[in-house]
Amino acid sequence: MNLSGKPNPQSSLRLQVYLAHAGVASRRSSEAIILAGRVSVNGETVTVLGEKVDPSRDQVLLDGRPLALEKRRFYLVLNKPPGYICSSFDPQNRPLALDLLPGDIGERLFSVGRLDFRSSGLIIFTNDGDFTARVSHPSAEIEKEYLVEASGSIPDEALEAFSKGIEVEGIFYKALEVERTSWRSLRIVLIEGKNREIRRVFSHFHLHPEKLCRIRIGPVLLADLAEGFSRPLTEKELKELGKGAAVW
């Protein structure tokens, strides 16, 4: 650790890696937490990236609370109802999807990606930052499938544009698949899944998604998982997502 003596190169970890392994957030999100000045090591606030810590010697605090490396890994999938936020804290005091998970886990979990407040369906929660980074990275090319119901008739023009690719406010959006299921509903498959992608494309065509539900993440299916309930990912699902690890 470079804040309290010489680090042991065999045991030291970059601070953002330590946070990820402590179940705080993914590595990328942990970097933002460090830069925001929320982390201290041995009493000194760290606001730059690159610091290293020795888990056996150094005390790491997040918002004044001590952290420790997680000893068990958890991988859960939740059927999030609309009206819940995928965050560990909300200044508006909206309901947290985290609060729907089993209360006896005893570890700090975070979501892999996001579903916005009004959307529903599959969202994965874990305390494995490396897993989150792999699954979230565009190079993983993990498909996300959605059922969308609009407030009015969806024109063919919208389907064609989303299929071929369309630029909205300087951002390019392109679905892998778009299939009409009724005059006002679609089945959409995305790969990258940019922030609020479906809602922004719909808004471009003056459409409002009344219902937006994610029914699949790669090999993980919503199936009959009831709204508000969760289950562990199976060994097969984890393997297909690129994580050969035990499920707790």
CA-angle at 31, arms to 106 and 65, nearest 5°: 40
Active-site residue, 116 included: yes
Contact 53, 226 (CB under 8 A): no
Among 116, 130, 156, 224, which one carries the catalytic annotation?
A: 116
CA 132 distance to own-chain centroid: 7
Distance of alpha carbon 60 from alpha carbon 107, whole angstroms = 16
180-219 residues labelled b (16+ CB within 10 A) or e (exposed): eeeeebbebebeebeeebbbebbebbebebebbbbbbbbe
Distance of alpha carbon 137 from alpha carbon 177, whole angstroms = 20
What residues act catalytically? 116
